Amino acid sequence: MTELLLVRYGEIFLKGLNRPYFIRALVRKVRYAVRGLGAEVWVHDGRIFVRGFSDLEECISRVTKVFGVHSVCPAVEMPKEDFDSICVQAVEMTRDLKGTFKVNARRSDKQYPMNSPAINEEAGFRILQANPNLKVDVHDPEHVVNIEIRDMAYLYVKVIPAVGGMPVGTNGNAALLLSGGIDSPVAGWMIAKRGVQICAVHFHSYPYTSDRAKEKVLDLARKLSFSCCGIKVFVVPFTEIQMVIHEKCPEEYTTLIMRRYMMRIAERIAREQECEALITGESIGQVASQTMTALGTTDSVTKMPVFRPLIGFDKSEIISIARKIGTLEISELPYEDCCTVFTPRHPATHPKMEKILEGEAKLDTEDLIAKAMKGVEMIRV
């Protein structure tokens, strides 16, 4: 008898002839997640298995964070030939349970001498005999005792929900504009969940933003990296650009012009990293630079698609997701990011493009961007 994890996937089942590609990708990500635990990961007969781990709880914690994993089941593997031993194990696994249950047997081995209804009946009878605190409910049970007959027998009761989604890297690459706030980490997590491999671009305005603010962003990236299986963070020196904008451009347009420079630089980094899109955490109307008119002016400087998964969310919904994925506590640390530096008193909410272009005409755009690109620092987390 061997303890292992049975890893179940959901949406991948819909992929038809492409399913093996997605399963292989998911197996690679699960192997990455459990590295250092001595675990073996393999796929057989449509199931992914993990065994040989040194720490069960840590292994479960890691695997449930992998995008593409629908649920994880701590299971027991044992020979299928001795049905009495299978029933003994089923009884043992339900010894401390109370309430209602049913047995759910599945056979991929159709040569097995007992069919699924017979397995359900016999195993259920023995569980009832051993545990008077249980009653049968085949329609809406509190507990399900799963018995799978494959090349071996696999038994499990507990099903632990995971993040779901698609394996990272199966749907291309995108660059996330990552600030130290609540929104952008959530936006990156949501797009990565759809199978997109993300890198992060952070704009750092030292000395107006501290090294601790930079470390806060790296902590956010580390939190995302558990599900994304590693992230590259590109830290862009942004102080000179912000100061020049503040000195030469109309005050009410400084935030929008700053955002336009961020998009230009992020697109260049994205293309160098073979990304196909940018990701931002903007939501309509949340701040002055996120009105529909303002968003249109920032999008106009890039030819890449810009993904905004939070565009229709209110703040409470975003905070709820941030709490769920573990980034909220980090985002709430009191360290400013570059977006709070030189904030205008009365930012334009319905900007005129001619005013923006008039302000940018006073700047040497290519020189400013070239200097910023030269100082980019790449950190792998």
Distance CA 6, CA 148 (A): 11
Distance CA 154, CA 110 (A): 15
Phi and psi, residue 300, nearest 5°: -70, -15
Radius of gyration (Cα) for the chain, nearest Å? 26
First to last CA, the chain: 38
Tokens of 41: 């990961």
Which pairs count as long-range contacts for 30-37, CB under 8 Å and 24+ apart, including other chains?
A: 30/63, 30/66, 30/69, 32/229, 32/230, 33/62, 33/63, 33/65, 33/66, 33/226, 33/229, 34/59, 34/62, 34/63, 37/62
Contact present, 176 and 200 (Cβ < 8 Å): yes
Of the candidates 59, 4, 3, the residue with the CA atom closest to the CA atom of residue 31: 59
Distance CA 281, CA 224 (A): 14
Q: pLDDT tens digits for the chain (381 residues)?
A: 899 999 999 888 888 888 899 999 999 999 999 999 999 999 987 789 999 999 999 999 999 999 999 999 999 999 999 999 999 999 999 999 999 999 999 998 888 999 999 999 999 999 999 999 999 999 999 999 999 999 999 999 999 999 999 999 999 999 999 998 999 999 999 999 999 999 999 999 888 888 899 999 999 999 999 888 889 999 999 999 999 999 999 999 999 999 999 999 999 999 999 999 999 999 998 887 889 999 999 999 999 999 999 999 999 999 999 999 999 999 999 877 666 666 777 888 889 999 999 999 999 999 999 999 999 999 999
Which amino acid, 346? H
Of the candidates 84, 93, 151, 163, the residue with the CA atom closest to the CA atom of residue 122: 84
Tokens of 7: 């890893």
Distance CA 37, CA 166 (A): 24
Contact present, 94 and 157 (Cβ < 8 Å): yes
The per-residue pLDDT for 338 is 64
Pairing relationship of beta strands 143-149 and 99-107 according to DSSP bridges: parallel
Tokens of 309: 């998964």
Kindly state the helix (H) or strand (E) to which residue 28 belongs, with its residue range. helix 19-33
Partners of 170 in the β-ladder: none
